[in-house]
Amino acid sequence: MTAHAAPTFTVVHEVAGRMRLRSRRLYDPALDLAYLEALIGALPGVDEVRINRWGASVVVAHDGRPETRARVLNLLDHVPPDAYAPGNAGREEVSALTVTGQGLAAALTPFAPQTAAAPASWLMGAPTLLKGLHTLLYDGVKVEVLDAAAVGFSLLRRDYFTANAIVAMLGLGGYLEHWTEKRSDDLLKSLLRPAVEEVSVERDAREIRIPFDSLTVGDLVICGAGELLPVDGVVVDGDAALNQSSITGESLPVHVSEGDEVLSGAVIEDGRIKVAARAVGRETSMARIGRFLENSLRTRSASQKRSDELADKLVPVTFGLGLVLFVLTRDVSRAASVLTVDYSCAIKLASPVAVKSGMHTAGHCGVLLKGAQALDNLSRIDTIVFDKTGTLTRGDLAVTDVRPLDGMAPHALLALAAGAEEHYAHPVARAVVAESRRRGLPLPPISQVDFIVAHGVSAYVEGERVLVGSRHFLEDDEGVDCAPVRDEARALRREGKSILYVARSGRILGVIALRDELRPEAAEALAMLKERGITTIVMLTGDHRDTARSIADALGGIDEVHWELKPEDKAAIVRRLQESGHTLAFAGDGVNDAPALLSADVGICMPGGADLARDSAQVVLLEDDLRLLAVARDVADRTRLALRRTFQAAVGFNSAVLLAATLGRISPVVSAFLHNASTLCIVSYAAAACRRRPASADFLEAIKPSQEASHVRHP
């Protein structure tokens, strides 16, 4: 039987809204308790979770509903494999009771007889000594070895008060450090709880939108391109290409059709399916929640890793200096004073606290960061590439003109185009469908719909093939002669409008013009980014050259414009900029932006973006305002500055203490006190510095005076 399979959790005590469970599974060193705690805490109805590894217990406070209790028990009975991360064990939690007992024992040591103090002190120091020996044998010279050496030297010279005082201060320091780090984890976890979502279902032969929580087993859930599959179930109609990388790790899309089983968390890259739900409830979103938690709570940025590596290299220096001093002076007290000084504690603790606090601040300002590396990269970018539609513009296209040919009625052309594009998740399609509904037009029956990403739609109406899309799609790819509408289209483009071409049976029927308004804050946002060191701003669009240039001129601050692009063109431009030495972010919101979002150093998705875009991005804006990019940059810069200052403070202060200890000016107890006090001060500074909201976020008070708490919870 594997460690992952047994034993199960047993409820040992329960009152209304609170239960304590036990399991020997918690002794498994590979089980990431912080991750498991986060998974339980992300369940709806759960208020608080506490896990004690050595007590083998889990305490869960919840809303008292039977469904919540069942969810918790189900999760603990089926702990996901992701919760096991060998070699990723965190710092051991020190209980307040243990710290209090150690402090009392150290304070009473001078008044105790030698016959009682000696065995008690060796017993009290044994865990530190054993841990140091284990670390030395398996990991080399680390901070645990320094602690064990300092305690061991004091015990050997029968200085029991010093030995016990060092153990007590190590315990107190560990307790306060764990408390500080846990607070930063809890702040971050609060951003990761899933929000209530809506899904499309078929009821009474009609497609309607209902709250996610209203789903029941047997519901027919409808999902289209770019959407996240919200349930586990069986496909009953349609076919699609599913991206299941978040569940299985497989990067290639999987084709599913009628009769295939599908799992929640998969993203539909292409197609449209109807799924009979077999499992509903928020636990089906576990893969999605787990991905955010893993990125945000487990991963470290490259900068953090470099700081940790340098801190580890300083530990042997301290250890060697202590041994040399002992050999040269035979002064055990001086050697113990040196060995209580460690650079790595402050550096390794301040770094994750600063990063998590920064991520929490960004979240409450309206920016969700998926991991430490995203924050690190944001502070280094010099270029931002914008996809025009939905980022620099509102993405709310509106139909302005319907121009048919050969006496065809405008409403007939519009209804034909809307019928073909009714289920296409693209801003242009949504605008055409919305206009047809506003006019109350009945849509013709459509069959064999084929969505060609970034080009258009092909569908059949009464046996005739209808094409709706760009001029390039109809004329270059499908061979439709668009000359009859060329002058009309050119005139409309000069007005800054986008053009949609409509053809049937290989003959052009007319054009539909649409306009997309610029975001009112876009020009200000671009100026703010320039002030923050962004040297190059690039705009990409699938629009015609005239439309693209008109928008760029209106915005100002744009250094490059690329038009009439395909999705693969966008990713290619991103790679070209990277190869020329730029560190860049890409901002987009559509299904066809996913390749570019993945290619960029930082992928940024707008709040109304498709699920595939949100899944691909490292940064998700939670408020519909481009100025949040400048806010995110400020948070990233402040976090980087805090990390640099904490590193300098840790090295500077500990070097001073080390020098004083080397010269014999301070005792081991004073040295241990100064080291632990400096660590706590540095960690507290890291948390406080990174939790302050930047002044650039003041505009948020005007746009969301009472919505901040609800928005930051959206994943």
Q: Active-site positions?
A: 387
Q: How far apart are CA 368 and CA 714, in angstroms?
A: 9
Q: Which residues pair with 562 in a beta bridge?
A: 540
Within the chain, what is the greatest distance between any pair of CA atoms?
111
Q: How far apart are CA 220 and CA 10, in angstroms?
A: 36
Q: How many CA atoms within 13 Å lie on the side-chain side of 47?
A: 8
Query: Does residue 6 sit in helix, strand or coil?
Result: coil
Q: Residue 594 CA to chain centroid, in angstroms?
A: 16
| CB atoms closer than 10 angstroms to residue 445 | 8
Distances (CA, A) of 655 to 314, 317, 648, 660: 11, 11, 10, 9
Distances (CA, A) of 112 to 86, 99, 496, 550, 667: 44, 20, 89, 86, 21
Query: Does residue 72 sit in helix, strand or coil?
Result: helix
Quick check: 286 and 40 in contact, CB under 8 A?
no
Q: How far apart are CA 311 and CA 238, in angstroms?
A: 56
Burial of 597 from C-beta contacts in 10 A (0-12 / 13-18 / 19+): buried
Position 622, amino acid: L
Q: What are phi and psi of 584, to 5 degrees?
A: -130, 160
Q: How far apart are CA 709 and CA 713, in angstroms?
A: 7
Q: Which residues pair with 584 in a beta bridge?
A: 383
Residues 388-402 as b or e (16 or more Cβ within 10 Å = b)? bbbbbbbbebebebb
By 3-state DSSP, what share of the chain in percent is helix, strand and coil, each rounded to 5?
50, 20, 30
Pairing of strands 498-504, 383-387: unpaired
Q: What is the DSSP string of 554-575?
A: HH----EEE-S--HHHHHHHHH
Q: Which region holds residue 37: left if phi is over 0, alpha if psi is between -120 and 50, else beta?
A: alpha
Q: How far apart are CA 149 and CA 130, in angstroms?
A: 11
